[in-house]
Structure 1
Amino acid sequence: VAWKIKFDFFFSMQIAAIFLYFCFPIYYKIRGLGFMYRPALQKHAYYLPLVIGIGLWLMIQGLPPFAVDNLSWIECTAAGTELRIHEFLGTSSATAVTSGIDSTFPNRLCPAALDNTIGEEPFGIWAIVFAQTPVSILALLFIRSSLKKNSESNDVQVLESNDIKEKNQISKSFYIGFLGKVIGSILFFVTLLIILPMLNGGVVPNFQDVISWRYADPTFMARFKYFLFNLTFAFGPIGLAFEAMMFVHASLQDSVFGIDQNLRRTFRNALFTGVGAFLFILASEVMENVLGFGLAGGVIVGVGLLAVRKPVLGIIDGFSGRLMPSNYTAKETEYLNNYAKSIKDGKISDNERSLLVTLASAYGIDNERIREIEESYNSKFESEINASDNPEIMILTLDVVRQWTDESGYTWRNMSDGSTQFWNGTDWDDYN
């Protein structure tokens, strides 16, 4: 009963997720789908996909392309023993069960202590799972279209506004997060339907093949396919975790001070630890197959990562800084503006440093925050110098700190260097 509930819940939510993707035009203006952008639909769009998903699955679950009528549980207590067959759904004499047992256990003997399900895997349930990828790509195009429309119309994000048109804007952080999820979905799709079949004689692998790869044929290719098959199912959760992190950043960056710093720190630690663990396991498996001593590979990778820890963390910090740029308060922006003016010649005199310290003290900016602001600016400053053929001619890349429209209809924005610009109808001009 519990398995049936989990099975039905999973596929109901898969269908609901597909319909949720199609709800983007209801909340955000998409070219050609403006008729869907209605407050009346927005009031019901949050629960209708759930209702449709559950209802549609209840309607189709008994149809041949989606029905799992025969499923047996195979139990092995030890290597060389006769396998035990427990009927889970339907009968163990069904063709799907018997053919699966014959191909996986030719002699009806257990290769090792294990348990696994063997039975029907209808095309329809896999189609529901794989439908996520093309639909999510379509949703990504919806988001991209909305961002482009907002950019061309000079729309701005003012979260405090009561205007629905101003609130329903897609932030860059949300777009990047969803892009990460789509990439994870594409990796799952490509690996399972293209890469693994190329390694498996043109046949899409299933869970029965995993038993053979793991126990019956201990070659390097079998181990590699087993490792890649299991890794495939991690792409989706990794993409979802990245999307969740960017969604938190998009939701709280204007209400929780320092959320960008905390998320960048968490992202750095998680990515470094995850990559380290992955490389440790991979090196151990490779060394186990080559030399028969897998721990040596793990130790070599672990020591190597510790040796290059600082440059690797620096690369990760640079990447996370692009994903989640720092947001400065008005006082921090003023400090940054004065710091940028002081370091234009490449150095800060004692008098300039004294003035900066006094300014930071008056604004209540602590030493740690000062260091972060200056290091962030210095990294951009150095990269711009390296990218320029003539050090005296540099194009500074500025970030928009805040953008708004006043009561007269003029659009303004504060830049990361402390300057203020206004939109003259065709271009941004500096406000003196």
Structure 2
Amino acid sequence: MADVGSPVSYYFRAIGTFMGYWNLLAIFSILSGIFLLFLAYLILKANPQKAKNRFMALMLVTEAIRCFTAMLFWLYAWPEDALNFLKPARVAYYTMSLQLFILYMVAATFYSENKWAKRVSEFFKIHGLYILPIFCLSVILITSHFLGGTNVSIGDISWIYCESMGPGQGSTYSGEPLPFEPMCSEEFESVYPLTFTNVVIGPLSRILLFVPLLGAIVATVSLSLSKNRIYKSEDSNLIGEVRAVRLGFIGKTVLQVTTTLILFWMMSIIGGPPTLAVNPFNPNIEITTALYILPPLMPTAVVLAALFEGVIFTYAVIKNDMFGIDERLRKTFTTTIFAGLGAILFLISTELMESVFNQGWLGGVFIGLTFILMRKPILSTLGVFSTKLIPESHTQEELGYLEMYSLAMKDSTITVNERSMLNLQANAYGIDDERKAYLERWYDDLQNLVGEDTDLAGKYGKSGINMMNVFATTGEAPIDENEIKKAFISMDINSDNVISEEEFFAAPEVSKLPPKSRLELFKAIDLNDDGVIQFDEFKIQAQITESEVLSSYKEDAYIEAYQVAMEDLIITADERKMLTIQAKTLGISKERVSELERTFDLGLGLDEAE
């Protein structure tokens, strides 16, 4: 019986070696699978009866199973008996690879108007959820039977045991003898006793390694071909969803290509596909540093592709249904990249210091201190990148709350009554205190970025343009959503349902502004800072600007009354009562009244004492 001690003892010995590097990436793969299952749960929870949600959840569960099984054989120093479950795990991995290929080929049908496409997509509401896995497993097993069994088609598994330096023990799952006598070298002396499990890539495995890449390419092309039709639908939510799903498939394709390149690199080094003879304990071949580094990077690229796809797809499907999902996904994405980058650099630096100075811990200390000291700027940079991938997105309820909050913040102060109204609104929308605080903080930060003068009508009206001509067709407040929509469509020259900088700058009213002011105005309307203006963003700023214009009308009316009362430079008690009634009728707060009167008095050359 091969005894390597307790798991804690083994992992402690393996730290700082290539064995520990392989173990660490395998652990990361398992954790990624758990996270993908959580994302699948979120998608189902958002709308469990919808075929698209069930389909996306099935896709993420498929990816999760691949993550669980991709590097399971490198997760731990398994005993020989573990081969009995490691082999079925490999069959499960390649079954899921075939299933993923089919899911990718079908994905675009959810965004097609063809009747056959709708039938295919509806199939995954119930029957596809269980028929597809059964079909894929049957294909793998039947094909393997004709190729000579899974040991041949998928590939055999080797197992090595080293108790100490010198000759080791070895076996295979198939029972075939190893093509070499295992030799436990000095290189891993600090880790002994250990066991090492490795796999062969069979002929069917080689095909199944590439089919997800082909499926991702087909899905990307299919979604691109549907893009123009979807843009014409003028459904901003659907457009955003398709754009995000397409991005997910592009990311998947890039990382799958990376996996393929790694495999070809390995094959160029060893002169062909990996066999049982390619083993670090085979004394007859030289295992280079590249062959220690590359093998786990190939499944790790698969795992990273699954994570990227999972995060982007989850955002795409439920961004308008679940409060704060964009914020949570951005935080998760940023934290994962930060931790993964740190782990990889830690491994590289410890190995480098070990080979140069025979002091691997120096590299770990250096990287650790660097990440601690540079934590904030690194996370900030990653945050900017994650926001580009996963733009700020709000549900209709959140947009309604933000609109009310922006109106309440008109005078930069939230009164007790306004806070009560906002709390009632949040409760009616089902927005909890944590999310409410985040939304208000996000809005305040956005206003700070735009600048102190957030009154678009007041700020840009001074430049000689009418903001109502920007956001509507009438040029006057009040405006309705139909007018806002017409103004948006008139700016959207290429009809892709977003307004680019060039299209915005070309608008007749906007073109009157200096170039710098045009850009500032564009950024003020582009709430999620993704470089284009969606209709929801345009509508929010239109409604806010409308309220600012209407408010200025009311304030002008009050100032006119105040000017009449101040003709003799004295406000009598009766005049004050009339002005108070006027302010209440116009809906102007006491604080704002004081500001308006003080501004008017200063214009007359009166100080506060007078």
Same-fold call, TM > 0.5? yes
Distance 1:283 1:213, change over 3 A: farther
**What letter is aligned with 1:17?**
L
Cα pair 2:315 2:329 within 8 Å, conserved = yes
**What letter is aligned with 2:173?**
F
SS of equivalent residue, structure 2 residue 171:
strand
Matches within 5 A, 1:168-207: 170-193=241-264, 195-197=265-267, 200=269, 203-205=272-274
Cα pair 1:333 1:418 within 8 Å, conserved = yes
**Post-superposition CA distance 1:273-294 (Å, at most 9, x none):** 2222221121111111122111
User: Does 114-123 or 234-243 show the bigger shift?
Assistant: 114-123
Q: 2:247 & 2:282 partners in 1: Cα distance?
A: 37
Cα pair 1:280 1:298 within 8 Å, conserved = yes
Aligned with 1:128 (options 197, 202, 208)? 208
Q: CA deviation at 1:320?
A: 1.9
Cα pair 2:200 2:276 within 8 Å, conserved = no
**Post-superposition CA distance 1:319-360 (Å, at most 9, x none):** 222213132421303545787xx7xxxxxxxxx423799866
Q: Percent identity?
A: 19
Match of 1:291 in 2: 357
Q: TM-score, normalised by structure 2?
A: 0.52
Cα pair 2:144 2:150 within 8 Å, conserved = yes
Distance 1:150 1:63, change over 3 A: same
Q: 1:242 & 1:134 partners in 2: Cα distance?
A: 18
Distance 1:72 1:420, change over 3 A: closer
Aligned with 2:306 (options 227, 240, 261)? 240
Q: CA deviation at 1:363?
A: 2.4
Match of 1:19 in 2: 102
Q: 1:265 & 1:136 partners in 2: Cα distance?
A: 26
Q: CA deviation at 1:311?
A: 1.5
Q: CA deviation at 1:84?
A: 2.9
Match of 1:110 in 2: 184
Cα pair 2:159 2:197 within 8 Å, conserved = yes
Distance 1:91 1:295, change over 3 A: closer
Distance 1:359 1:212, change over 3 A: farther
Q: 1:249 & 1:302 partners in 2: Cα distance?
A: 32
Match of 1:409 in 2: none
Q: CA deviation at 1:117?
A: 5.5
Matched, 1:61 2:144: yes
Q: CA deviation at 1:19?
A: 1.8
Distance 1:224 1:184, change over 3 A: same
Greater helix proportion: 2
Aligned with 1:209 (options 278, 290, 299)? 278
Q: 1:197 & 1:131 partners in 2: Cα distance?
A: 19
Q: CA deviation at 1:368?
A: 5.0
Cα pair 1:188 1:232 within 8 Å, conserved = yes
Cα pair 1:73 1:115 within 8 Å, conserved = no
Cα pair 1:177 1:243 within 8 Å, conserved = yes
Q: 1:287 & 1:182 partners in 2: Cα distance?
A: 35
- How many pairs does the alignment contain? 369
Q: CA deviation at 1:157?
A: 4.2
SS of equivalent residue, structure 1 residue 37:
helix
SS of equivalent residue, structure 2 residue 280:
helix
Match of 1:271 in 2: 337
Cα pair 1:264 1:317 within 8 Å, conserved = yes
Distance 1:155 1:257, change over 3 A: closer
Match of 2:540 in 1: 418
Greater strand proportion: 1
SS of equivalent residue, structure 1 residue 55:
helix
Q: CA deviation at 1:118?
A: 7.2
Matched, 1:77 2:162: yes
Aligned with 1:315 (options 349, 356, 381)? 381
Q: 1:41 & 1:208 partners in 2: Cα distance?
A: 46
Q: 2:414 & 2:385 partners in 1: Cα distance?
A: 32
SS of equivalent residue, structure 2 residue 112:
coil
**What letter is aligned with 1:27?**
F
Match of 2:79 in 1: none
Match of 1:363 in 2: 422
Distance 1:128 1:55, change over 3 A: same
Match of 2:176 in 1: 91
SS of equivalent residue, structure 1 residue 326:
coil
Q: CA deviation at 1:150?
A: 0.3
Cα pair 1:73 1:86 within 8 Å, conserved = yes
Distance 1:247 1:265, change over 3 A: same
**Post-superposition CA distance 1:112-164 (Å, at most 9, x none):** 55544678643222211222212222222223333343013434548xxxxxx
Q: 2:350 & 2:514 partners in 1: Cα distance?
A: 45
Distance 1:376 1:191, change over 3 A: farther
Match of 1:426 in 2: none
Q: 2:413 & 2:449 partners in 1: Cα distance?
A: 22
Match of 2:391 in 1: 324
Cα pair 2:105 2:216 within 8 Å, conserved = no
Q: Which has the larger radius of gyration?
A: 2
Match of 2:403 in 1: 333
The gaps in structure 2 that reach 5 residues or longer are 1-83, 427-435, 453-500, 502-512, 529-533, 544-549, 551-610
**What letter is aligned with 2:119?**
P
Match of 2:227 in 1: 147
Distance 1:254 1:223, change over 3 A: same
Cα pair 1:118 1:208 within 8 Å, conserved = no
SS of equivalent residue, structure 1 residue 63:
helix
Distance 1:88 1:266, change over 3 A: closer
Q: 1:317 & 1:357 partners in 2: Cα distance?
A: 35
Distance 1:313 1:157, change over 3 A: closer
Q: 1:377 & 1:150 partners in 2: Cα distance?
A: 33
Match of 2:516 in 1: 391
The gaps in structure 1 that reach 5 residues or longer are 159-165, 343-351, 402-411, 422-431
Q: CA deviation at 1:60?
A: 0.8
Match of 1:28 in 2: 111
Q: 2:226 & 2:237 partners in 1: Cα distance?
A: 13
SS of equivalent residue, structure 1 residue 172:
helix
Q: CA deviation at 1:318?
A: 1.4
SS of equivalent residue, structure 1 residue 391:
helix
Q: TM-score, normalised by structure 1?
A: 0.71
